[in-house]
Chains A and B, each alone.
Chain A
Amino acid sequence: MTMPLTVFSALVLGALAITIVAPVLLLVLLIRDWKRKQLW
Chain B
Amino acid sequence: MNSVNSAILDPSVGWAILAGFSLLWVALGWYWGRHAQQLDDYMLAGRRVGLALGTATAMATWVTSNTTMAAPQLAFQMGVWGMLGYSLGSVGLLMFAPLATRIRRLMPNGYTSGDFIRIRYGHTAWRVFLAISLFYSLGWLVSMGMAGGILIHALTGIPYHYGMTVILAICVGYTLLGGFRAVIGTDFIQALLILVGLVVIAVLAIRHVGFDSIHSAVTAERPELLNLLMPAAIMFLFNNLLFGIGEIFHSNVWWSRAFSFRAGVGFKAYTLAGLLWAPIPIVAGFVALAVPALQLNVPAADMVGPMVAANLLGVTGAVLVLLMVFAALSSSLDSLLAATSILVVEDIYRRHIKPHASAEDMRCAAARIIVGLGVLTWLLCAPRLTTLAELLYFTGAFVASTIWPIAAGLFWRRTNSTAAVAAMVLGSAAGLYSYFAIGFYVAALVGAAVSMLCVLLGTWLAPRDFDWEQLREEHPLHMGARP
Whether B48 pairs with A19 at a CB distance below 8 angstroms is no
Give the chain A neighbours of B192 by CB distance below 8 A.
Answer: 23, 26-27
Give the chain A neighbours of B219 by CB distance below 8 A.
Answer: 2
- CB closest chain-A residue, reference B45: A40
Whether a CB of chain A sits under 8 angstroms from the CB of B472 is no
> CA–CA, A8 to B211, complex, Å?
8
Range of interface residues on chain B?
35 or more
- From known contacts A2-B227, A26-B192, A30-B188, infer whether A15 and B211 are also in contact, taking CB-CB under 8 Å: no
Nearest Cβ on chain A to B339's Cβ, whole angstroms = 17
Whether B282 pairs with A40 at a CB distance below 8 angstroms is no
Whether A39 pairs with B53 at a CB distance below 8 angstroms is yes
How would residues 12 to 53 of chain B score, 1 for a CB under 8 Å from any chain A CB and 0 otherwise? 000000000000000000000000000000000110111111
Which residue of the partner chain, among A9, A18, A39, contacts B50 with CB atoms under 8 Å? A39
Give the chain A neighbours of B350 by CB distance below 8 A.
Answer: none
Give the chain B neighbours of A20 by CB distance below 8 A.
Answer: 199
> CA–CA, A6 to B8, complex, Å?
33
- From known contacts A2-B228, A12-B282, A22-B276, infer whether A40 and B49 are also in contact, taking CB-CB under 8 Å: yes
Whether A18 pairs with B279 at a CB distance below 8 angstroms is yes
Whether a CB of chain A sits under 8 angstroms from the CB of B286 is yes
Range of interface residues on chain A?
20 to 34
> CA–CA, A33 to B57, complex, Å?
15
Nearest Cβ on chain B to A36's Cβ, whole angstroms = 8
- From known contacts A2-B228, A33-B53, A39-B52, infer whether A12 and B276 are also in contact, taking CB-CB under 8 Å: no
Give the chain A neighbours of B203 by CB distance below 8 A.
Answer: 16
Nearest Cβ on chain A to B268's Cβ, whole angstroms = 10
Give the chain A neighbours of B206 by CB distance below 8 A.
Answer: 12, 16
> CA–CA, A40 to B45, complex, Å?
7
Give the chain B neighbours of A38 by CB distance below 8 A.
Answer: 48, 50-51, 262
Whether a CB of chain A sits under 8 angstroms from the CB of B226 is yes
Q: Which of A1, A18, A19 has the most CB of B within 10 A?
A: A19
Give the chain A neighbours of B310 by CB distance below 8 A.
Answer: none
Whether a CB of chain A sits under 8 angstroms from the CB of B215 is yes
> CA–CA, A40 to B183, complex, Å?
12
- From known contacts A22-B276, A23-B195, A39-B50, infer whether A12 and B188 are also in contact, taking CB-CB under 8 Å: no
Whether B211 pairs with A29 at a CB distance below 8 angstroms is no
Whether A16 pairs with B202 at a CB distance below 8 angstroms is yes
Whether A22 pairs with B211 at a CB distance below 8 angstroms is no
Give the chain A neighbours of B397 by CB distance below 8 A.
Answer: none
For window 166-217 of chain B, which residues contact chain A by CB distance below 8 Å?
181, 184, 188, 191-192, 195-196, 198-199, 202-203, 206, 211-212, 215
Which residue of the partner chain, among A9, A19, A40, contacts B279 with CB atoms under 8 Å? A19
What's the dominant secondary structure at chain B's contact region?
helix
Give the chain A neighbours of B80 by CB distance below 8 A.
Answer: 3, 8, 11
Whether A40 pairs with B228 at a CB distance below 8 angstroms is no
Nearest Cβ on chain B to A9's Cβ, whole angstroms = 4
- CB closest chain-B residue, reference A29: B52
Whether B184 pairs with A19 at a CB distance below 8 angstroms is no
Which residue of the partner chain, among B199, B226, B272, B283, contacts A12 with CB atoms under 8 Å? B283
Whether a CB of chain A sits under 8 angstroms from the CB of B56 is yes
Whether A19 pairs with B262 at a CB distance below 8 angstroms is no
Which residue of the partner chain, among A8, A15, A29, A40, contacts B55 with CB atoms under 8 Å? A29
Give the chain A neighbours of B48 by CB distance below 8 A.
Answer: 38, 40
Which residue of the partner chain, among A15, A22, A32, contacts B286 with CB atoms under 8 Å? A15
Whether a CB of chain A sits under 8 angstroms from the CB of B275 is yes
Give the chain B neighbours of A36 by CB distance below 8 A.
Answer: 50
> CA–CA, A36 to B52, complex, Å?
12
Whether A19 pairs with B227 at a CB distance below 8 angstroms is no
Whether B227 pairs with A26 at a CB distance below 8 angstroms is no
Give the chain B neighbours of A30 by CB distance below 8 A.
Answer: 52-53, 188
Give the chain B neighbours of A12 by CB distance below 8 A.
Answer: 202, 206, 211, 282-283, 286
> CA–CA, A29 to B181, complex, Å?
18
- From known contacts A19-B199, A38-B262, infer whether A33 and B51 are also in contact, taking CB-CB under 8 Å: yes
Give the chain B neighbours of A9 by CB distance below 8 A.
Answer: 211, 215
Nearest Cβ on chain B to A25's Cβ, whole angstroms = 7
Which residue of the partner chain, among A3, A5, A11, A19, contacts B195 with CB atoms under 8 Å? A19
> CA–CA, A40 to B50, complex, Å?
5
> CA–CA, A12 to B199, complex, Å?
11
Nearest Cβ on chain B to A37's Cβ, whole angstroms = 9
A-to-B contact residues, CB < 8 Å: 1-3, 5, 8-9, 11-12, 14-16, 18-20, 22-23, 25-27, 29-30, 32-33, 36, 38-40
Seed contacts A2-B227, A14-B279, A26-B191; 4 additional CB < 8 Å A-B pairs: A19-B198, A19-B199, A33-B52, A36-B50
Show 11 A/B contacts (Cβ-Cβ < 8 Å), sorted by A: A3-B80, A9-B215, A12-B206, A12-B283, A16-B206, A16-B279, A18-B275, A19-B198, A25-B272, A26-B52, A30-B53
